[in-house]
């Protein structure tokens, strides 16, 4: 399996290597796309977020959604052929942290991570490499 994490920031688009850190400005809409082979065939897909100062991650998007509470407003999960994307509207500093995509297919889980840093100053726009590298997602067997 090959993995690329793509990040779209407003009118600017950049491809970011899975596991690397990228930056966005306060108030931007951010799309993080995790390329995971055959994700559309997965039984379950999740995006979780762990804020830098928090001990535990929180689930921000999932398909199918299996909770009584509605999904978080301003967060959209999109599943395409080989691609799992999350759109986060109007990011702010509290959205800085680690994002993890997981796809469960049978007894196998594929996961990919990326770190977002949201800045409040306009002088620091995007400080991430725009080169494309292909990586394997972390894969493990569920018990």
Cβ neighbours, 10 Å, residue 60: 18
CATH at 79: 2.60.40.10
In a domain, 116, yes or no: yes
20 falls within a domain: yes
What total number of domains does the chain contain? 1
Provide the pLDDT for residue 49. 94
Confirm whether 129 is domain-assigned: no
Scan for tokens 């596991």, then name that residue: 19
- Residue 96 lies inside a defined structural domain of this protein: yes
pLDDT tier at 16, thresholds 50, 70, 90: very low
Q: How high is the pLDDT of residue 120?
A: 84
Residue 139 placed within a domain: no
121 pLDDT band, cuts 50/70/90, is low
**Residue 142 counted as domain residue:** no
Average pLDDT of the chain, as a whole number: 75
Beta bridge partners of 79: 84
The residue segments making up the domain with residue 112 are: 5-122
> Is residue 23 assigned to a domain?
yes
pTM equals 0.73
With tokens 């569920």, the residue in question is: 142
Gap between the Cα atoms of 75 and 11, Å rounded: 19
Contacts by 126-131, CB closer than 8 A, 24 or more apart: 126/9, 126/12, 126/14, 126/22, 126/23, 126/24, 127/22, 127/23, 128/7, 128/14, 128/16, 128/20, 128/21, 128/22, 128/23, 129/14, 129/16, 129/17, 129/20, 130/14, 130/15, 131/15, 131/17
Q: How many helices (H) and strands (E) does the chain have?
A: 0, 11
């Amino acid at each position: 399996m090959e993995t690329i994490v793509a990040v779209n920031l407003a009118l600017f688009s950049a491809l970011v290597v899975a596991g690397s850190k990228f930056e966005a400005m306060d108030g931007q809409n951010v799309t993080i796309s995790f390329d995971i082979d055959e994700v559309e065939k997965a039984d379950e897909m999740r995006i979780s977020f762990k804020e830098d100062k928090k001990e535990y991650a929180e689930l921000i998007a999932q398909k199918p959604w299996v909770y009584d509470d509605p999904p978080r407003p301003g967060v959209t999960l999109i599943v395409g052929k080989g691609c799992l994307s999350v759109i986060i509207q109007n990011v702010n500093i509290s959205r800085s942290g680690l994002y993890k995509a997981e796809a469960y297919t049978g007894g196998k889980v594929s996961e990919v991570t990326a770190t977002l840093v949201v800045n409040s100053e306009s002088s620091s726009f995007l400080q991430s490499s725009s080169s494309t590298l292909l990586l394997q997602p972390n894969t493990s067997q569920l018990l």
